[in-house]
């Protein structure tokens, strides 16, 4: 059981750190700002239709690029989180299936969610940006 907990902790920890390091939240925030800017330009009565269309087209291109960036960043983050599980399987400590069964349990999901949320909250409080 301790092996499962250690591997799960490593996996979730690496996943959480990678989320922060790779900048998924900041990239998603930029996407939201781009979408808001496009909507604001559509509502602006001072702009001509052609100007609105140009702004919306540029925003659409930015959003497609940002979406691709988010997908790539997400895949890298998921792959990094899978490394401890794959290494444990390779070292014959525990099988991938057994680890995934453990990680899918509701008590593990709730506990991990609470710990990660608390860690994020404390991190924001201790190291504000």
49-74 per-position pLDDT tens digit: 888 888 999 999 999 999 999 999 99
**C-alpha to C-alpha distance for 111 and 53, rounded to whole angstroms:** 48
Average pLDDT for the chain? 92
Rg of the chain on CA atoms, in Å: 21
69-89 per-position pLDDT tens digit: 999 999 999 999 999 999 999
| 129 has a pLDDT exceeding 80 | no
Q: What is the pLDDT of residue 82?
A: 96
Domain edges within the chain: 2-126
- The DSSP letter of residue 39 is H
Per-residue pLDDT band for 96 (boundaries 50, 70, 90) equals very high
Burial (CB count within 10 angstroms: exposed 0-12, middle 13-18, buried 19+), residue 13: middle
Q: pLDDT grade, residue 119 (50/70/90)?
A: confident
- Residue 112's pLDDT is 94
DSSP structural state of residue 124: H
pTM over 0.85: no
Cβ–Cβ under 8 Å, residues 41 and 47: yes
Tokens of 82: 């899978």
């Amino acid at each position: 059981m301790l092996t499962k907990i250690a591997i799960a902790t490593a996996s979730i920890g690496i996943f959480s750190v990678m989320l922060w390091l790779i900048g998924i939240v900041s990239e998603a925030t930029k996407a939201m700002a781009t979408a808001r800017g496009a909507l604001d330009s559509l509502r602006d009565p001072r702009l001509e239709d052609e100007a609105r269309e140009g702004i919306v087209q540029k925003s659409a291109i930015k959003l497609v690029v940002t979406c691709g960036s988010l997908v790539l960043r997400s895949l890298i983050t998921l792959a990094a989180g899978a490394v401890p599980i794959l290494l444990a399987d390779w070292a014959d400590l525990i099988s991938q299936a057994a680890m995934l069964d453990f990680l899918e349990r509701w008590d593990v999901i709730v506990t991990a969610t609470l710990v990660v949320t608390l860690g994020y909250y404390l991190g924001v409080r201790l190291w504000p940006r």
